[in-house]
Amino acid sequence: MMTRRLLILTFILIALSCEKETVDKPVSGPTPSPLQIPKLFSNNLLDPVIPFDNPQTKEGVALGNKLFIDPILSLNNSQSCADCHLSKNAFSDSDRFSDGVEGIRGNRNSMPLFNLAWNFDEKFFWDGNTFSLEHQAFVPVTDPIEMNTTWTDVEQKLQQHPEYPTLFEQAFGTSIIDSTLVVKAIAQFERTLISSNSKFDKYLLGEVELTPEELNGFNVFMDETKGDCFHCHGNERNPLWTDNRFHNNGLDETFTDMGLGAVTGDPADNGKFKTPSLRNLQFTAPYMHDGRFTTLDEVINHYSEGLKNSNTIDPLMKKVAQGGVQLSPKDKADLKAFLLSLSDFEFINNPIFKNQ
């Protein structure tokens, strides 16, 4: 009987020991890395869009950053995402149209990349042809004008690379690389591109004062009898400075690029393009979907006296019959001063993001 009791006690002690070892043993896997949401964003915006099947992790973001700057994603290993989205230009391109791997130029200006996790409709590109940030990252790789390759070739190159299988194992728990995991990593990195520290942001937080010119420029921006800019670009309670919707802003009477209309097939959408953010305009010239304006003064002049009427002109272009809002030289200069106060030097100089 004593021997039996000793055996039972020994078994219980072994079982408890094993259970404790199981409980105490850390679970391996990628390290969660939630987005660092700025105060102005948390106070004024809904939570960022982050898919349940692609949470932010330290390893995933690092992998996405590496993939973003690596030309291995292109046909001849000559072009990376970063070549058309330079950090010094707020992740846009200072050229009107970017060159692809074959030297072919596109017909739209490269869009800047920041605050993408708050694009709540999740429609990307100038014409909204792609849904979700993950799917957006699929497109340039196979586009014949851009990277002009196939995902099969990209997957093979990454699989044979001396580093990438291990990095994918660390980020996603598998060393078998496929396109879905590639775009998930890139999307994780792109969601970390948060711009929130301009002079105007600091003003809203009570940290700095604006000049009289900047204050008047903001008033011009908000005044429906003057600039009337806020309907599409928001106000001090919208730190995105865009509605992320699509408008015909009076650039042309007839269209060579149908924009949203080519995607929806609805003639009422012809000539409509996504509203770009007004953040970082100091770094993102040229402007508009086709980069037709090289200076911010040209943009302001367009809305002041350069509007063109068409069948799909946005109703918000209320003074199109007069050619525009007809700003005075003083109000133009002050509006420009306000717009430049939305420039985030910390963002473009962040060493974590810096690629060129």
Does 233 count as an annotated binding residue?
yes
232 is in an annotated binding site: yes
What pLDDT band is residue 356 in, cutting at 50, 70 and 90?
low
85 is in an annotated binding site: yes
What is the mean predicted confidence (pLDDT) over 293-310? Answer: 98
Q: Of 94, 84, 69, 82, nearest to 283 (Cα)?
A: 94
Query: What average pLDDT score do residues 183-187 get?
Result: 98
Q: Quote the pLDDT of residue 8.
A: 46
CATH topology of domain 54-194: Cytochrome Bc1 Complex; Chain D, domain 2 (1.10.760)
Whether 331 contacts 210, CB under 8 Å: no
Instruction: State which H helix or E strand residue 25 sits in.
Output: none
Structure confidence by residue, pLDDT tens digits, 71-97: 999 999 999 999 999 999 999 999 999
If you average pLDDT over residues 111-127, what whole number do you get? 98
CA nearest neighbour of 161 among 74, 72, 61, 75: 72
Please, what is the average pLDDT of the chain?
93
CB-based burial of residue 267 (10 Å sphere; 0-12 exposed, 13-18 middle, 19+ buried)? exposed
CATH fold match for the domains 54-194 and 199-342: yes
Q: Is 229 annotated as a binding residue?
A: yes
Domain 199-342 has CATH 1.10.760.10: yes
The answer to whether the beta carbons of residues 240 and 277 sit under 8 Å apart is: yes
What was the pLDDT predicted at 18? 47
**350: helix, coil or strand?**
coil
Contact yes or no for 350/197 (Cβ under 8 A): no
β-pair type (123-124, 130-131): antiparallel
- Mean pLDDT confidence for 126-130: 98
* Per-domain boundaries in the chain: 54-194, 199-342
17 has a pLDDT exceeding 90 = no
pLDDT at 27: 55
Give the pLDDT of residue 23.
Answer: 41
**Residue 354, pLDDT score:** 77
Amino acid 12: pLDDT: 46
